[in-house]
Structure 1
Amino acid sequence: MSRIKRVLVVLGSVVTVLALAVGGLFLWLWTGTDVSTVGKEPFENKLAIPPLAESRLDKDGTRVFDLRMQAGEKEFEDGRKTATWGFNGAYLGPTLRAERGEKVRVRIANGLDEASTVHWHGMHLPAKMDGGPHQMIAAGGSWSPHWTIDQPAATLWYHPHPHGATEKHVQRGLAGMFIVDDDARQPDLPNRYGVDDLPVIVQDVKFDGADFDHGKGFMQNAGFLGDRTMVNGTLSPYQEVADERVRLRLLNASTARTYSFGFSDDRAFAVVGTDGGLLERPARLDRIQLSPGERAEVVVRMRPGERTVLRSFPQDNYAGAWQQRFNGGDDAFDVLQLRAADRLRPSPEVPGELARLELPKESDAVRGRHFDLKRSGINGREMAMNRVDETVVRGTTETWTVRNANGMPHNFHVHDVQFRVLEVNGEVPPPELRGPKDTVFLPHGTTMKLALRFDGPADPDTPYMYHCHLLYHEDEGMMGQFVVVEKGGRAGDVAGGAEGSHTAHDH
């Protein structure tokens, strides 16, 4: 009996030590996982404003842009160069700008040593011009997509979309803004680019010597999460402003991180636009949550001589404490400091009426579809390049019900269309989701009902994508394909990979 007691005591001691060790390890991981740069940024670097891309008009009136994907290096911090990719430069790309009704052509050269694509995120355009994984541009190759701008004024963007490698290509710096103007329907808002109308491309980064660190931390199932943010490729940025009101075109260009934007003094701001254009009327908020790929246009009022910081605040709607802690919900960042001059030019009040929404209504829908979001695939299917998942009829409206019960954050992006959010968990959507949207955040336990109209050209052989825009999830297979057909039509033959896609010369 005494021997058994000794064995039990030893076993109990071992179990206790192991429990304490596991508990200590968990406590260390828990307390060391959240990130905060609040109060730590010196804001010593003037914000870089991406240049407006040069263009020319062809004889037929087409506006032509030139983009070149290239490798380079950049000193984000003095004395330390980092290997990068960019468009027409070392990092990020110029802002393309065109008017509604214009014909545009973008001549793209791939100067990288591997194939990539350029996707026009939020743009309404033919499937062959979309720049998804079926429009690969070979290393050393070129591609010249062309289309007519046929949508309201909006803040859109462009980025690579190679199947299985999108996260890596975007992280290295391939991204830029595309602004659509519509002078016929432009309300009186700040509109001088780089002066009182600022592009704010937000990314989170982590550095590892002369390269970006793209590693994923323990339990980070959302994807890569950096420990710092930068705006327009500028670390610790400040912007001097000389106007009473400033328009910020917020773009979450991170690959996995969701932000809750507000200001350090909790001042309210006017949300005037969402992904695909202006709201009907401004929404006055002090926080707006943007997941990867989402955009928002906000107008903030400044007072002479003051300073305020655009901040990302902790969020509590991920999926409980575990997901919130390990996937960025508890993190906080000081993103951009605004410095008002001692004397400011007067700015008009934000109009009470902004735009007439060009969005479908639920009553127009001819059918509904359901999409269940899981990391293993959408509706239980991992992405396959040669499989058409959904076939829609040109000119029709549908309702898509999207559900996330996967225990982790996801979001949902649909190519080509701007949709109306009809319901969030059976309720009327909040004001910031009542404008044109192409990407929505769905934390665990969320169901959204969307209305989408498919009025572009039919092409049964070339699909558009729908997918989670947490790019790690997209690369793993959280993506599906749909084609648009004429009434009575059927999906055609879809190429099964880069070998069958447009690799170089779509002129």
Structure 2
Amino acid sequence: MTPDLRAVDGQAAGPAFTRRGALRLLGLGALAAAAVPGCSLLGGSPQPQLLASAAPLPKPFAVPLPIPPVARPVRTEGGTDVYELTERAADVELLPGLRTRIWGYDGSFPGPTIKARSGRPVVVKLVNRLPEPTVLHLHGGHTPAQSDGYPTDLVAAGADREYAFPMRQRAATLWYHDHRMDYTGPQVWRGLAGMFIVGDAEEEALRLPSGDRDVPLLICDRSFAADGTLLYPGLEGKPGVLEAYMGGVLGDVILVNGAPWPELRVARARYRLRLCNGSNARPYELATGRPLVRIGTDGGLLAAPRTVDQIRLAPGERADVVVDFSAYKLGERVELRNLAAEGAQGKVMRFLVDRDEPDDSAVPSRLSSVERLDPARAAVTRDFEFTSGSLHGGRGWLINGRPFDPARMEARSRLGDVEVWRLTSDVAHPVHLHLSPFQVLSVNGERVEGPPEWKDTVELREAQTVEIVTRFTDYRGRYVLHCHNLEHEDMAMMAGFEVV
């Protein structure tokens, strides 16, 4: 039988989860770096590497952009909407003319989009019909600890679990994905990701583009074997990747909503694009050649719209932008490009302006009120250093010189406290904080100008220090801080913290 995920040596990647008990609780992702005897980082911290497909790359802009279906509640109980997502394998067409075995929520990639409303609780029942354990994480969710997707809170093959999301948060573009310890990279690569959109009355009153002109765009990269099988440089029988890819895996096919370099036909009207970087390791600098109007970030609306030439998104980051296609003539083609890459990877998708339609949308000069957290009120300042380092006779990815141990808490923060966290990098690391959104205070000692923005993921560039300020509200329990380069995350670049 053809494996559903093939390593570059032709062997199936992502082995059965066979380790049990205490060993699983000792941060075995840390061992991945030592999986190859004499493993080294070639004299320094590695960079992400391109994994070339054996399949011919498809022609760009030859397939239409698919829009993932919107999930419907299976029932409503006392004002709580209950959804059911079944994780299962499916054979789908990602590359034209080839079939690819994916792991998907409801057998699709991306999974169905869940649309929720601020203040209206959501429960997601996750049913695992895959041969491996999984964990569900709502990325950007303000979530009780028992439903946050702690990496060892596994849903075994054949089991199910309910996740409760109270939705005590403002309107924002979120996404959900697998978060299993040691195996997030290959399991998200297989397809375990989807969009989750939160709305509220404030946003609805703004007359922003809506309906078919509110478009989720989950952008990622993948590589393919000649028969269409997903390629991934995993190790056989253990977590981690081949040494050459320890810096992160870059695919050579850019997918948007699961389609390679697609095209979307648009009217001469405003469109809201909800951009999400769902790649394992690839950053994007998105541009159309004309100004973009940015209206939102990870944590929801900005205080006011900002006109920019390009949008940089590290893995895990999101941005909401409005593009006014009335500025283009009928028949014009508008290409969304990735300025951080060249060749085929420098293309993302294309828009074809093909009709006139009425448009009563607007982008007001004021979008929202964004509270500014005061760092002077911080109860403590904490330091977190993200580096490669020695680990079990090899090399790995560490926070404060230590690999992830799910039983160890690197910090204990009091409920209600404001804290400043200082994050420092060796190479680029997109850092994601669970539970609480934050605001960026400074980059390499220089204060960030302008109104505050709510974030849950921030990109540390090479040899950079970023200060963030956050406040821990509503929920006590265990959470994590980690690098969202998924190969780094799987190889131990994660730290637990507890809100007490």
Normalising by the smaller structure, the TM-score range is 0.7 to 0.9
> What letter corresponds to residue 94 of structure 2 in structure 1?
F
In the other structure, the counterpart of 1:133 is 151
Q: 1:218 and 1:143, CA in 2 relative to 1: closer, same or farther beyond 3 A?
A: closer
Unmatched runs of 5 consecutive residues or more in structure 1:
1-31, 315-327, 486-507
Deviates more, 1:331-340 or 1:270-279: 331-340
Change in Cα spacing, 1:455 to 1:359, as seen in structure 2 (3 Å) is: farther
Pairwise CA distance, 1:243: 4.5
**2-side partners of 1:473 and 1:245: how far apart?**
38
How far the C-alpha of 1:451 sits from its partner, in A, is: 0.5
| Residues in 2 aligned to 1:69 and 1:361: alpha-carbon distance in whole angstroms | 42
Structure 1: distance between partners of 2:432 and 2:89: 28
Q: Which runs of 5+ in 2 are unaligned?
A: 1-48, 234-240, 389-396
**What is the Cα deviation at residue 145 of structure 1?**
1.4
SS in 1 for 2:379: strand
Partner of 2:32: none
Rounded Cα–Cα distance in structure 1 between residues aligned with 2:447 and 2:190: 39
Q: Does 1:384 align with 2:405?
A: yes
Q: 1:368 aligns with which of 375, 381, 399?
A: 381
Given candidates 232, 236, 244, the residue that maps to 2:257 is: 232
In structure 1, the partner of 2:30 is: none
Match of 1:291 in 2: 314
1:198 aligns with 2:215: yes
1:280 and 2:280 are equivalent in the alignment: no
CA contact (8 A) 1:304 1:344 kept: no
* CA RMSD, 1 decimal: 2.3
Larger Rg: 1
Question: What is the match of residue 346 of structure 1?
Answer: 359
Q: Provide the secondary structure at the position in 2 that maps to 1:363.
A: helix
TM-aligned CA deviation for residue 231 of structure 1? 0.4
Query: Is the CA contact 1:222–1:409 (under 8 Å) kept in the aligned structure 2?
Result: no
Q: Deviations over 1:413-438 (max 9, x none)?
A: 0001110111111223366x942100
Instruction: Pick closer, same or farther for the CA change 1:284–1:184 going to 2, 3 Å.
Output: closer
CA distance in 1, matches of 2:479, 2:492: 15
TM-score normalised by structure 1 residue count: 0.81
Contact map agreement 1:421 1:450 (CA 8 A) in 2: yes
Equivalent of residue 446 in structure 1, options 440, 444, 464: 464
Contact in 2 for aligned 1:245/1:347 (Cα 8 Å): no
Structure 2 CA distance for aligned equivalents of residues 469 and 286 of structure 1: 25
User: Which stretch has the larger CA shift, 105-114 or 58-67?
Assistant: 58-67
Q: Which one-letter code corresponds to 1:253 in the other structure?
A: G
Matched, 1:52 2:81: no
Q: Does 1:89 align with 2:107?
A: yes
How far apart, in 1, do the equivalents of 2:411 and 2:145 lie?
Answer: 14
1: CA distance, partners of 2:129 / 2:432 = 28
Runs of 4+ in 1 over 4 A off after TM superposition: 32-35, 216-221, 328-332
Give distance in 2, aligned partners of 1:57 and 1:471. Answer: 34
TM-score with structure 2 setting the length: 0.82
- SS of the residue aligned with 2:413? strand
* Aligned mates of 1:411, 1:457 — CA distance in 2: 24
Q: What's the CA shift for 1:361? A: 2.4
Q: Aligned equivalents of 1:425 and 1:144: distance in 2?
A: 42
Describe the SS at the equivalent of 2:218.
Answer: strand
| Contact 1:204/1:225, CA 8 A, preserved across alignment | yes
Whether 1:109 and 2:109 are equivalent positions in the alignment is no
Partner of 2:40: none
1:399 counterpart residue number: 420
SS in 2 for 1:403: strand
Alignment of 1:261 onto 2:305: no
* Counterparts in 2 of 1:330 and 1:434: CA distance versus 1, 3 Å: farther
**Count of paired positions:** 430
Distance 1:176 1:282, change over 3 A: same
CA distance in 1, matches of 2:492, 2:343: 27
